[in-house]
Structure 1
Amino acid sequence: MTSPHRTTSDIKFSHALTGPYLPPPGKVPGWPFQEMGRWTINVAGAADEWLIGLREWRREHRLRIGLDDSLYTRADLAWSQANFVHALTMVEDLFFYDPATGRYTVGRYLDDLEARFGGVDSVLLWYIYPNIGIDDRGQFDLVHDLPGGLDGLKQVIADFHARGVKVFLPTMPWDHGTREGDAPDWERMADIVAAVGADGINGDTYSGVPRAFHVACEARGVPVVLQPESTAQAGDHILSWNLQSWTKRVPNESIPAVVKLKWVEPRHIVQIENRWSRERWSDLQHAFFNGIGYVAWENVFGFVNQLTDRDAAALRRVAAIQRRYAPLLVTDNWIPYDRTLQAGVFASRFPGADATLWTLINRQEFAVAGEQIAVAHVEGAAYVDLWNGKPVTPRIAGGLAYFETELEAHGFAALLQLPATGDRAGLDAFLAEMAAQAATPLAERSAVWASAQQQLTPVMQTKAYATAPDGMVAIPAATIDFAVHGIVIEGYAAEGVDVQYPWEPNARRFHHHRLPIDAFAIDRFPVTNAEFATFVDASGYAPADTHNFLRHWTDGRPTPGSERQPVVWVGLEDARAYAAWAGKRLPREWEWHYAAQADDGRRYPWGNDWRADAAPPPSLDRIMPALADVDAHPAGASPFGVMAMTGHVWQWTDEYRDRHVRAAVLRGGSPYQPHSSHWYFPQGYALDQHGKYLLMAPSKDRSGGIGFRCAVDL
C-alpha cells in the first residue's frame, strides 16, 4: 500500500531513470503543496532531499556505466562545451551555394543567420540525403561530387572557421544498398575529415556513434567531436566518447524536463532538435533551463521551415547568455527546479566560483510579473538582469535577495549574481546589446509562420510546328484531371512540402487540378546515347562543370552496345542545352503526365495493372544494372504510343525555386532500387507520383538514374 507520507525522493525512485528525461520534484515548484495522484506532498520541503537523492543516483550511475571523462578535459575538444546553436546546412541551399556563379557563399549564409537570430556555433554540412539512392553512388561518393570535390569542401570549412564556426560531416549506417566501399565507414570518414579539416562527425540515426570513429580520427591526428542523433538506445556509457548529441523534441508540458544526459555529464552538450515545429518557444525554454543547445534547422531536406521573428529573437537572446556564461553551465553544481515564487515559473541555478546564474522560464500562456525568485544574498554582491540588459537592486530581507521582473507569456528571464570583486570585463557592452534586443518585447514580434513561396522556372516556347517532327508523337490539346502527389520521404502532408504549381497558393504534397493543355509533341523515346553523341559532335558542347558529365561513356564516346540506351549522367543544364540545339525544349510535367496517361486516369502507361513485360525488371543489386534499350519493351507504350515512360530511367521535367531551394520534378522511375533502407530516393512508377530532386550543381546533380526526353509546341 502506498504511504500517505510519501516524499518526492520516493517518487524519484518510482520513475524509470533510463529515459531521456528525469522526473521533477513536483508538478509546480514554488507552491507549498502539490497533489500527486491522491496524495499531497510538500514540494518545497522535499526539494532538497530530492536533489540529494538525484546526485547520489548520478554518482552511482557514473560508476555503473564506467564514465571516462578524459575527452571532456582535453583543450582541443573544449569548444564542444560552448557549442549551443547548431545548424544542419543543406549544401543545396541557395544562400550557401550560388549556382549562377558556381561558387560557395559561406559568408552570405552566415550573414543571414546572424542577422535573424545571432548566428550559429557549428554546422552540419548535409550532402547525402534525400538524393542518395537515385543511383548507386554511396555516401562516400557524394562528398567527392560536391563542386570542387574535397578541395572545394576544404575551402568551405576554412571559410566557416574564419567566422568562428565549427563544421561536422555526416555518416549514415543505413547506407548498405548503394555501391560497396573498400574500407569500414570509420576509416573512410577519418580520411575525409583529415583531408578537409572538419571538426566533428554526426552519426545520422546512430544512437551513439561507435568509438571506432574516434579511434580512426585520432590515428590520423585529427581530434573530432562525435555527435550521434541520440543516445537513448545505445546506453549512457557512450557519453565517454560522444561529447555531444541531439535529442528529439522535449515534452511540451507545464513542467520543464531535465535532460538525463546533461545531468549525468554536464559537459555533454545536448542539442534539442524539433525540425517540423512552427512554434519553438518550448524547445528554447528547455535549452535555457537545462543549459544545453538548440538545432536551428530551417532548410529541412528542401522544406523551408524558417523561424518566426519571435522565435528568432528569443534564440538570439538565449544563445547570447549561454555563450557568455558557458563555463557556468557545464559543472556538477547545477540545481534544476530551484525554488521560485510564482506558479508556472521555473528556474535553474548554475553556481560558479565567481558568479551564479539563474535561468528562468514562464510556462504560462500569460505574463507573470512581480518577484520571481529569492536567492541567498551575498554581502556586497551585484545583481544583473541579463535578459533585459540592466543592473538591478533586489529587495533584501532575511538574508535573501528578491528578484523582481516581468516574464512575458512563454517568456524568459536571467539573473546574475556577482561578488563585489567579480569579473566585469565586457559586461557593460554585453548589457547594452541585451538591452537593445529587449527594447522590442517578444510579444511585439511576429509569431506568424508562412511557407516558402515557390516559383516555376519559365520555359521558352519552341516555334509552333505544324506537325510532329520525326521521332516525336503529336499530343492533341485537351483539358485533363492532373492528379499527382509527391513521394518525398520527409514532411508528412504539411504546408510547404513538395512543390507549388502556378495555380496553387502554396506547396503541398497532394495535387489535383482541372488543367487545359495546348497541343504539343513529345519524343517517342528518351534521348539516347547515340543522339546525345550527335549533339556533342555537331555543337562542340562542353559544360563549364565537367565532373560526372557522361561518366558512363568510354573515351568520350558511348560504350559499344549502349547506343540505344537512354543517355544519363547529364544534368538539367545539359538536357536543356541539347533541347535548345535540337529546336526543342524539356516537357512540362503535366505534358509528360498527359502523354503517359491520356485522360482516363490509368495507373501505368499501359493500364492499371503492372506488367512485367512492359518495363525493365527492377534490380535490388548494389550496383546499377545496365539500362535497357529505349525500344526494348513495346508493351509499355502509352495510349498515344509514347514509349519507355515508366521504369526505364527518371526523366527531367520542371524546376521550382524559392529563396533557399532549387528542385526538379522527376517522372518515370528507374530499375535501380537500392535495398536495406526506406530513406533512399523512392521510386515513382505510378503515374500519380512524382519525385522531387534537390538541385545544387551539375557535378552533384548528374546521375546514372536520370535521363530526359524533349517536347515542342504544335
Structure 2
Amino acid sequence: MATCPKRLALAGYFLSAAVATAAPTAIEVRGSQLLGPDQQDVGEADWLARLNNWKRDPNGQHAAWLDAMRSWRSSQLARIAYDDVQYRRPELRWTQRNFVQPQAMVEDRYLYDPVAGRYTVERYLNDLERRYGGIDSVLLWPVYPNIGIDNRNQWDMVRDLPGGIPGVRQLIKDFHARGVKVFFPTMPWDTGSRDPGQPPHEATASLMAEIGADGINGDTMDGLPIEYRTASDTTGHPVALEPELSFKDDGMLAYNQQSWGYWPTSLVPLVSKWKWLEPRHMVHVCDRWATDRTNILQDAFFNGVGIESWENVWGWWNQFTPRDGEAMRRISTIYRAFPEHLVSADWRPHVPTLHYGVYASEFPLAGKTLWTIINRTDWSVSESIMRVPHQPGQRYFDVWNGKEITALVRDGYAELSMPLEAHGYGAVLRLDRDTSAAGLDSIMKRLAQQAAKPLRAYSNEWTPLPQKMTPIASTAPARSAPAGMIKIPAATFDFQVRGIEIEGENKPGLDVQYPWESSARRGHVHRLAIKSFYIDKHPVTNAQFKQFIVASAYRPKDDHNFLKHWEHGSPKAGDEDRPVTWVSLEDARAYLKWAGKRLPHEWEWQYAAQGNDGRLYPWGNEWDDSMVPTPAKSRDLPPPERVGQHPKGASPFGVEDMVGHIWQWTNEFSDEHTRTAILRGGSYYQPQDSYWYFPQAYKLNEHGKYLLMAPSKDRSGGLGFRGVRDAL
C-alpha cells in the first residue's frame, strides 16, 4: 500500500497524546497483548515470584508506565510507516461499532429449519437478544469440519447451501434487515480440494461480492494479506478483513480492521496491543472452550473491545450461562450507548483505583469521559472505588447500575463509590458542566432495569445439551437371506468406539450421546445384545438405485447435488456396479423403505465388520493396502471403485467393502441446535496438504461425525450406504 507522509502515525489521530521522551520503563509484549504496570503474574518461572504477586502496586507505577506506553506506540507506528486510511473509509466505519459477533454454524437448527426447508434468521436473532442482548455481526460457518469428505472446495460449500447463491443472498439480506453484518470464512489451508481456477483471495472476494457479505474471517490466518484488501476493493464491494490469529506483521494492522483475541488471563488484565496502536481496531476476544466466560468478558470490557460470542463449536453446544449472558447484555448495552468513547484516541488503560484487584480504563472525549471497571476478586466492594480529577460542575453517573453518583469532592478530586460484585463490572460516565449526552435518561433507565437483579442472582452453572438418537423403525423380518445380503448372528457385543473430530477437546457434550449414556462424550463403551439381522454384502450400487428411481419415480424436494455423478438421469456407462453416492440421508432412507430394508444401527454395522474379537480392521489387526481401493489423492474426485473387488478384505461374516471404500450412513443424532450423522468406514478419497480435512475413520473402533443441514449440502461424492433387514 502506498504511504502518504501526511497520514503517517494516524495523521494526528492520537499523536497529540504521545509523549516524545524516552520510555522510563520497558514495555513487554506478550503476543497480541501488552503487560500492565508492575505486572509480574504472567509467565514467571519462579514460583516464589508468583506467590508474592499480591504485594505489587500497579497504581504507583502507572504514570511512568503510561508515558512508556505512549512512547512505545509512537515508535511502533513510525517503524511500520502507519497509514490509517482504511479506518477513515466511510463504508467500513461500521467495524468500529461491531462489538458482539458469534460464529454460527450454518447447520444450527435455530438458523435453518430442516423440516420447513428455510432459513430462520428471526428465530436465531430473537434467541440471542433474549439470552444476551443481541449481536452486531455474525460469522456464518459453512465449511469445516465437513470439508474434505469429497473434493468440494470452500467456495463450493457456500454455493451448496440451501437455495444456492440466491438463497444465501436472501439470508444475508435477512440479517441486514435486523442491522447485523455478515462474515464468511476463508481457509488458506484448503489446497487439496477442487481447484477454483483463480487465486484464493480473488475467489473469496468475488464470492463475497456476489452474495453481498460484509466481511472475511481468515481461518488460521495471522493477518489477511494485502491481496485480500485489493481484491475486495477491485470488486466494487469492499468488505472488512478479520484474521483469526495475531498479526505476524504489525503492518497488517493498517488494513485488517478487525481481529480475534485468544488472550491469556492474569489477575492484572493485559492490554490489547492492536487496540493500543489503533484505538479504532476492533478485537473480538474469544475462548471457544470456556464454559465460564467471566475472564474473557472482563478482559474485553477493560480494553473496550468486542466479544466473540461463539456457542455452536463444530456442533458442540457451549451456551452462555445465564450469568455470563446477563453480563454480556449489560456490557453490550453500554458499548452501544457510548461507542464513540471506545475509539477515543486518548484512552488510558490501568488508571488507578483504590482497591486491590479492581482495574479500570478511561475513555475520554471532549466534555465527557467513560470508565470501564472490573473486579477480579472473590468479594464485592462498594466504597471509594476511584478518585479522579474534578472540575466544578462535573456530574458522575454509575451507568452499570443506571444511577447518578453523589461524589465526595475534596482537594480537586472526586471520590466515586458504587457497588462492584465479586468478579463483576462497573462503568462511570462523567459529564462536564454544560455538557449533555444524547438519550442519557433513557439509557440510564434501561441500565437500571437490567441492574435491578444482580449478576450473582443468575446461575453460572454450565451443563451439556442432551442429545437424542433418531429412531430407526424395524423392517418386516426375513426368514432367509434376501438376495445380496448376509446373515449376522445374534450376539452379546462389546461396542467400543470413539469419535475422532479434529478439534473438540474431551468435554461433556462432544461427539454423540447413545440412549444408554447420560451425556454425549468422545469415548463410548457398552455391552449390548444384538438380535440377528441381514446386511447388504456390498454398498448399494448405482444400478440398484436406478431400479428404485424407475420403480418409484422418486425425486427429492431439495434436489441440488442429487445423483450429481449421473448423466441424463442414469449412471455413466461402466459405473453401474460402483457404489451410489451423492445421496442424502433422506434419499438413502427412501431407497431402503422401498427395498424393505433400513439403515444399520452403528453397533450393527460395527459388529458386522468386526465380529466379536475386537479386531481393528475387517481382515485383522494390521492395515493392509491390498484390502482396500487405491486412495484418490488428487484435487479431482474420481468415481469409487466397483464393489466386490477386495473379497480378502471381507469381515469374519463375509461382508465386503466396509472400510476404505466409501463412507456409509448409520445413525442420526440431534439436540436443540445440531443434527449429526455417524459415518462409518472411511473413504477412498484422501485430500492432501491439510490436517483440517474431514478425518478418516478406517479403524473399526472409530467413527466420523458429519454435521447435517439440508440435502443440498449433505450429499457427498464420498458417501453412500448399505441396508439391513431384520431376521426372524
The residue that corresponds to 1:367 in the other structure is 380
- Structure 1 residue 400 and structure 2 residue 408: aligned? no
SS of the residue 2:176 aligns to: helix
Measure, in 2, the Cα distance between the counterparts of 1:390 and 1:559: 74
- Structure 1 residue 237 and structure 2 residue 237: aligned? no
- Deviation track 1:458-482 (CA, whole Å, cap 9, x = no partner) reads 1111112222211111111111100
Measure, in 1, the Cα distance between the counterparts of 2:511 and 2:59: 51
Stretch of structure 1 that moved more, 204-213 or 534-543: 204-213
Aligned partner (choices 294, 299, 305) of residue 286 of structure 1: 299
- Structure 1 residue 225 and structure 2 residue 240: aligned? yes
- 1:70 Cα deviation after fit: 0.5
Aligned partner (choices 48, 70, 81) of residue 66 of structure 1: 81
Aligned partner (choices 234, 247, 266) of residue 261 of structure 2: 247
- Structure 1 residue 676 and structure 2 residue 689: aligned? yes
Stretch of structure 1 that moved more, 637-646 or 35-44: 35-44
Measure, in 2, the Cα distance between the counterparts of 1:330 and 1:217: 25
- Structure 1 residue 174 and structure 2 residue 186: aligned? no
| Mapping 1:397-436, distance limit 5 Å | 397-436=410-449
Aligned partner (choices 510, 515, 519) of residue 506 of structure 1: 519
The residue that corresponds to 1:191 in the other structure is 206
- 1:36 Cα deviation after fit: 9.9
Aligned partner (choices 11, 21, 29) of residue 17 of structure 1: 29
| Cα separation, partners in 2 of 1:691 and 1:37, compared to 1, 3 Å | closer
The residue that corresponds to 1:561 in the other structure is 574
- Structure 1 residue 587 and structure 2 residue 615: aligned? no
Stretch of structure 1 that moved more, 82-91 or 190-199: 190-199
The residue that corresponds to 1:319 in the other structure is 332
Paired residues of 2:375 and 2:424 also in contact (CA < 8 A): yes
Tell me the TM-score normalized by structure 1. Answer: 0.96
The residue that corresponds to 2:156 in the other structure is 141
- Deviation track 1:390-438 (CA, whole Å, cap 9, x = no partner) reads 1121111111111111211110000100123222332122112111111
For structure 1, the residue ranges without an aligned partner over 5 or more in a row are 1-8, 30-34
SS of the residue 2:64 aligns to: helix
Paired residues of 1:28 and 1:344 also in contact (CA < 8 A): no
Measure, in 1, the Cα distance between the counterparts of 2:712 and 2:612: 38
The residue that corresponds to 1:210 in the other structure is 225
The residue that corresponds to 1:4 in the other structure is none
Measure, in 2, the Cα distance between the counterparts of 1:662 and 1:114: 23
- 1:117 Cα deviation after fit: 0.2
Tell me how large the CA RMSD over aligned residues is.
1.7
- Deviation track 1:354-376 (CA, whole Å, cap 9, x = no partner) reads 31001110011221221100111
SS of the residue 1:230 aligns to: coil
- Deviation track 1:329-380 (CA, whole Å, cap 9, x = no partner) reads 1122011110100111001011011310011100112212211001111211
Measure, in 2, the Cα distance between the counterparts of 1:386 and 1:323: 13
SS of the residue 2:687 aligns to: coil
Q: What amino acid is the match of 1:237?
A: G
Stretch of structure 1 that moved more, 690-699 or 485-494: 485-494
The residue that corresponds to 2:724 in the other structure is 711
- Structure 1 residue 163 and structure 2 residue 175: aligned? no
| Cα separation, partners in 2 of 1:311 and 1:45, compared to 1, 3 Å | closer
The residue that corresponds to 1:94 in the other structure is 109
Measure, in 1, the Cα distance between the counterparts of 2:212 and 2:345: 32
| Cα separation, partners in 2 of 1:396 and 1:461, compared to 1, 3 Å | same
- 1:646 Cα deviation after fit: 0.5
Paired residues of 1:28 and 1:343 also in contact (CA < 8 A): no
Measure, in 1, the Cα distance between the counterparts of 2:149 and 2:56: 59
- Deviation track 1:45-92 (CA, whole Å, cap 9, x = no partner) reads 432122112101101110101211011111111110011101111000
For structure 2, the residue ranges without an aligned partner over 5 or more in a row are 1-21, 42-48
Paired residues of 2:334 and 2:399 also in contact (CA < 8 A): yes
Paired residues of 1:26 and 1:43 also in contact (CA < 8 A): yes
Stretch of structure 1 that moved more, 318-327 or 574-583: 318-327
| Mapping 1:80-119, distance limit 5 Å | 80-119=95-134
- Structure 1 residue 299 and structure 2 residue 312: aligned? yes
Measure, in 1, the Cα distance between the counterparts of 2:63 and 2:403: 31
Paired residues of 1:12 and 1:25 also in contact (CA < 8 A): no
Paired residues of 1:12 and 1:23 also in contact (CA < 8 A): no
Measure, in 2, the Cα distance between the counterparts of 1:432 and 1:64: 47
The residue that corresponds to 2:468 in the other structure is 455
The residue that corresponds to 1:518 in the other structure is 531
- Deviation track 1:136-160 (CA, whole Å, cap 9, x = no partner) reads 0011111110011111110011000
- 1:490 Cα deviation after fit: 1.4
- 1:387 Cα deviation after fit: 0.6
Measure, in 2, the Cα distance between the counterparts of 1:257 and 1:43: 12
SS of the residue 1:409 aligns to: coil
Measure, in 2, the Cα distance between the counterparts of 1:266 and 1:36: 31
Question: Moved runs in structure 1, 4+ residues, more than 6 A?
Answer: 35-42
Aligned partner (choices 381, 387, 402) of residue 400 of structure 2: 387
The residue that corresponds to 2:146 in the other structure is 131
The residue that corresponds to 1:491 in the other structure is 504
Stretch of structure 1 that moved more, 187-196 or 94-103: 187-196
| Cα separation, partners in 2 of 1:41 and 1:89, compared to 1, 3 Å | closer
Paired residues of 2:112 and 2:119 also in contact (CA < 8 A): yes
- Deviation track 1:653-700 (CA, whole Å, cap 9, x = no partner) reads 000000000000000111111111111000011100000000000000
- Deviation track 1:161-208 (CA, whole Å, cap 9, x = no partner) reads 000000111101000111112111111112111111111111111111
The residue that corresponds to 1:5 in the other structure is none
Q: What amino acid is the match of 1:713?
A: D
- 1:22 Cα deviation after fit: 1.0
- 1:219 Cα deviation after fit: 1.2
| Cα separation, partners in 2 of 1:43 and 1:126, compared to 1, 3 Å | closer
- Deviation track 1:199-233 (CA, whole Å, cap 9, x = no partner) reads 1111111111011111111112112110011234x
The residue that corresponds to 1:32 in the other structure is none
- Deviation track 1:529-558 (CA, whole Å, cap 9, x = no partner) reads 000000000000000011100000111110
Q: What amino acid is the match of 1:469?
A: P
Aligned partner (choices 261, 265, 287) of residue 274 of structure 2: 261
Measure, in 1, the Cα distance between the counterparts of 2:449 and 2:253: 39
SS of the residue 1:359 aligns to: strand
- Structure 1 residue 549 and structure 2 residue 562: aligned? yes
Measure, in 1, the Cα distance between the counterparts of 2:567 and 2:209: 33
Paired residues of 2:102 and 2:137 also in contact (CA < 8 A): yes
| Cα separation, partners in 2 of 1:42 and 1:682, compared to 1, 3 Å | closer
- Structure 1 residue 530 and structure 2 residue 540: aligned? no
| Cα separation, partners in 2 of 1:368 and 1:640, compared to 1, 3 Å | same
- Deviation track 1:560-591 (CA, whole Å, cap 9, x = no partner) reads 11111000000000000000111111111111
Measure, in 2, the Cα distance between the counterparts of 1:25 and 1:36: 16
| Cα separation, partners in 2 of 1:369 and 1:42, compared to 1, 3 Å | closer
Measure, in 2, the Cα distance between the counterparts of 1:566 and 1:103: 31
The residue that corresponds to 1:378 in the other structure is 391
Measure, in 1, the Cα distance between the counterparts of 2:59 and 2:175: 48
SS of the residue 2:108 aligns to: coil
